[in-house]
Structure 1
């Protein structure tokens, strides 16, 4: 990257346990065992108050993870392809994941990945300890957001949502894509128990986090902690869209 061209500044905001905004220009590469010829950054983690770990990264030419990701008895994983083309294996099934493609692996199922392009393939990656529910077991699930139905969000025709995973109670989390037309917004400022890790796919917006309005844009990452106030307005000429995780289908533990 070389010498800076100006005074060192950053749009990043880090308030552990509450929220974070991490712009791409401030991220550093982390070595994660098993990933070969892959540049990736650890985003949220338990050290920031998250109960999950998020990553963003790039598979370069011949990039792969043949060692496997996840596979522990209590850890579930998910990958979303931001751009490019990946091959994935899970539980003896093989998947081709292009832009918008995704794969969920339940506990004890290992995810294997390989870049299918001569160029780069970008990804958003997640892992979390699974909260079991007696009599219910989640399963390997793959899809592509470009083929999923968009549903009107909370009776507002200028906001749409996609569920990426089944709404079956066996799943203790889901991934969604929320998309705002220009000038659209949430219907109210939310305050809830669930946490989010969100990666912005397009557009620009103003995001209310803990009652602070902060500008965000494409390729920013946002962590929202438990009970953090949150809402967004889309600004500019493009749709504001982001993919995000949300825990669900479980009671709060004592």
Structure 2
């Protein structure tokens, strides 16, 4: 967990379960969705990425047959001073960073930005950028997507902190279901949105959303019961869900505190035929 004021975001600690613990977990992979519970984010499933120092990565999503196909999502842990001067190997790929713990310095085309927990950066494709942790460990989410260009709408970098953005109340919910939009939803230069979604205890998504957008959903805090296809799945802080297009989805927030998650979705483009 992070320290300091404001919302707390879950980040994994690695390690291994004891030899006396049961194997049963909530991990499941189906044709419509994948659930990766926080208990499986262990040391032995991390990757060491080329071009990074003092870093390890849990790869939460990659395009796979029968699953979400538009994006990759990483959870990256940096040791003090760790990072990369050339993090993105594909110039056609855009990125979105969201800091969970610690602080990082991100340089975008020569401009430095210090990001604390809740801090984010949208990195357009082809950007010269680097990232470095401060004097203690840092953890962040990294979403990667091949950008779909649109004439007249060039992408541009966006840097901020979700804690400084006023969340929008969803219609007819009296503020119990709120969305913090970190990328402008009506800006066609973006072909993805990344939001923080917040539910008060007991609040619900009151219908089974069934839509073309794929999702990467990382639970930042709290717990809930999610309805995916015909299944009820319990989720908690640190769990990750990958939802393919048209997977029906709804949830009940369980309390006692707020239920919050980081949400990716692909938007604003025609279906390529």
Q: TM-score range by the shorter chain?
A: over 0.9
Supply the distance in 2 between the matched residues of 1:24 and 1:36 (Cα, whole angstroms).
24
1:196 aligned to which of 201, 215, 219 = 215
Moved over 2 A (4+): 47-50, 67-71
2:93 aligned to which of 75, 96, 99 = 75
Supply the distance in 1 between the matched residues of 2:212 and 2:245 (Cα, whole angstroms).
5
> 1:87 and 2:105 equivalent?
yes
Supply the distance in 1 between the matched residues of 2:75 and 2:149 (Cα, whole angstroms).
27
Residue in 2 aligned with 1:179?
Answer: 198
> 1:61 and 2:80 equivalent?
yes
The structure-2 alpha-carbon separation of the partners of 1:199 and 1:101, relative to structure 1 and needing over 3 Å to count, comes to same
Residue 30 of structure 1 deviates from its aligned partner by: 1.1
Supply the distance in 1 between the matched residues of 2:89 and 2:128 (Cα, whole angstroms).
5
Supply the distance in 1 between the matched residues of 2:129 and 2:27 (Cα, whole angstroms).
31
> 1:207 and 2:226 equivalent?
yes
Supply the distance in 2 between the matched residues of 1:26 and 1:175 (Cα, whole angstroms).
24
Residue 22 of structure 1 deviates from its aligned partner by: 0.6
The structure-2 alpha-carbon separation of the partners of 1:194 and 1:2, relative to structure 1 and needing over 3 Å to count, comes to closer
> 1:13 and 2:13 equivalent?
no
In the TM superposition, 1:216-231 aligns within 5 A as 216-231=235-250
Deviations 1:185-211 (A, max 9, x none): 013110000001011111000011112
> 1:39 and 2:39 equivalent?
no
Residue 166 of structure 1 deviates from its aligned partner by: 2.2
Residue in 1 aligned with 2:182?
Answer: 164
Residue in 1 aligned with 2:69?
Answer: 50
TM-score between the two structures when normalised by the length of structure 2: 0.88
> 1:113 and 2:127 equivalent?
no
Residue 212 of structure 1 deviates from its aligned partner by: 0.8
Deviations 1:127-150 (A, max 9, x none): 001111111101011010010011
How many residue pairs get aligned? The number is: 251
The structure-2 alpha-carbon separation of the partners of 1:77 and 1:7, relative to structure 1 and needing over 3 Å to count, comes to same
Q: Secondary structure at the match of 2:87?
A: strand
Q: Mind listing any 5+ residue stretches in structure 2 that lack a counterpart?
A: 1-15
Residue in 1 aligned with 2:264?
Answer: 245
TM-score between the two structures when normalised by the length of structure 1: 0.94
More strand by share: 1
Preserved contact between residue 70 and residue 77 of structure 1 (Cα < 8 Å): no
Q: Secondary structure at the match of 1:69?
A: coil
Q: Secondary structure at the match of 2:39?
A: helix
RMSD, aligned α-carbons: 1.4
Residue in 2 aligned with 1:26?
Answer: 40
Q: Which moved more, 1:176-185 or 1:148-157?
A: 148-157
Supply the distance in 1 between the matched residues of 2:129 and 2:189 (Cα, whole angstroms).
19
Q: Mind listing any 5+ residue stretches in structure 1 that lack a counterpart?
A: none
Q: Secondary structure at the match of 2:29?
A: strand
